[in-house]
Amino acid sequence: MNKKFISLREVGRQLDIPPSTIVYYKDKFAKYIPSEGGEGRRTRYPVEVLEIFRRIRKMFNDNWSTEQIERELALKFSVLMNDQQRDQLFEQPLSRQGLDHLSGVLSKMSDVLENQSLFRSEIRSLRDEVAELRSERDAENLRQQESIVSLQQELASLKRRVAGQGGGDGIDFPPADFLAGPLVIESGGEYLGVQGRGKSPFSLADFVQLIERKQSDVVSVETSWKRQNGHWVLVVSTDDAENGREQNIFLVARQTVTPSKNTVTEIIRLNIDGQDAPDALLLTLFRQLKTVFNG
């Protein structure tokens, strides 16, 4: 079979590399680029050099050092020796020194391949470990969320039991329909509410949960209920130990039937530290709730 050859000009044309760059690559890495026919214009290059020049171009573009490029070429293209080099290799008997040198080269190549294999194995092990840690984190987050929901349900159940048993002890607690009804304020003859998550109306129970979530290591939150003039009063006491600030909030609500015959829970008064909040503040509060639960 006749061997196919190619010129450096054709190499540059096929790879879209300037001729001067092709010549630079050829001179820089001559021992890795097979050729025949002597020097100058008589030099011929087998078509396999296309892949060598393509690889050199990519490594330069990836900012590889000269030493890194030479090692890569030695590993991947050392078999592409020209006929003259092969003839010399097989015609000249190897000396003891040459055998030792060849043995050393083969040993280094073996070490490199072994190190690469170990490195890949370590990467796979680290990836598996990271995936396992992420899975454990997600499972722990899920357990914490389930624990929070369970505690909230237990608290709600406890409050219901207290409400059912507290008639003779002076302990009051709003009925379930009052807590679950849509929470609204009246402004200009209209009743304004908030659409909660899941397209269900935002209720007084949702509002209480929102307040109780403020509880932390430095902020204590206590809530209680009482009846006053036929209305329900939510009493919220907070103590911010970090900032040395206490706050008492009284929210007065009643059950109302709107002109459209909807039964709602209406906030009729909000008192903060002994001062009644103006209607503008209530409107601002509901706008903020809309942003949180409708945004």
Looking at residue 169, what is its pLDDT?
47
Beta-carbon contacts of 237 under 8 Å, excluding residues fewer than 6 positions away, are: 221, 222, 223, 246, 247, 248, 249
Sign of CA dihedral 194, 196, 199, 204: negative
What are the residues facing 250 on neighbouring strands? 235, 271
CA distances from 174 to 78, 254, 264 (A): 86, 10, 14
Q: Convert the pLDDT of each residue in 44-82 to its tens digit.
A: 899 999 999 999 999 999 999 999 999 999 988 865 654
C-alpha 277 chain-centroid distance: 42
252 close to 229: Cβ distance less than 8 angstroms: no
Beta bridge partners of 145: none
Span of 37-41, 109-113, 142-146 with lowest mean pLDDT: 37-41
Q: How many residues appear in the chain?
A: 295
Query: What is the predicted pLDDT for the residue at 89?
Result: 43
0.75 surpassed by pTM: no
pLDDT digits (tens, 9 = 90+) for 137-153: 999 988 998 887 777 77
CB atoms within 10 A of CB 108: 10
Indicate the average pLDDT of the chain: 80
> What is residue 279's predicted lDDT score, i.e. its pLDDT?
80
Tokens 């329900």, located at residue: 232
Q: Which helix (H) or strand (E) holds 204?
A: helix 204-212
- Of 61, 74, 48, 68, residue with least CA distance to 21: 61
Q: Is the pLDDT of residue 96 over 80?
A: no
CB 68 within 8 A of CB 60: no
- Nearest in space to 247 (alpha carbons), one of 227, 225, 219, 269: 219
Q: What are phi and psi of 74, to 5 degrees?
A: -65, -40
What's residue 21's pLDDT? 95
Predicted local confidence at residue 288, as pLDDT: 78
pLDDT at position 90 over 50: no
* CATH architecture group of domain 5-92: Orthogonal Bundle (1.10)
DSSP letters spanning 146-202: HHHHHHHHHHHHHHHHHHHH-TTTT-----HHHHHSBEEEEETTEEEE-B-GGGPBP
Of 13-17, 222-226, 270-274, where does the model show the most confidence? 13-17
Residue type, 101: H
User: How many beta carbons lie within 10 A of that of residue 33, not counting itself?
Assistant: 23
Q: Which residues contact 258 (CB under 8 A, 6 or more apart)?
A: 184, 191, 264
Q: What is the pLDDT, as a whole number, of residue 83?
A: 47
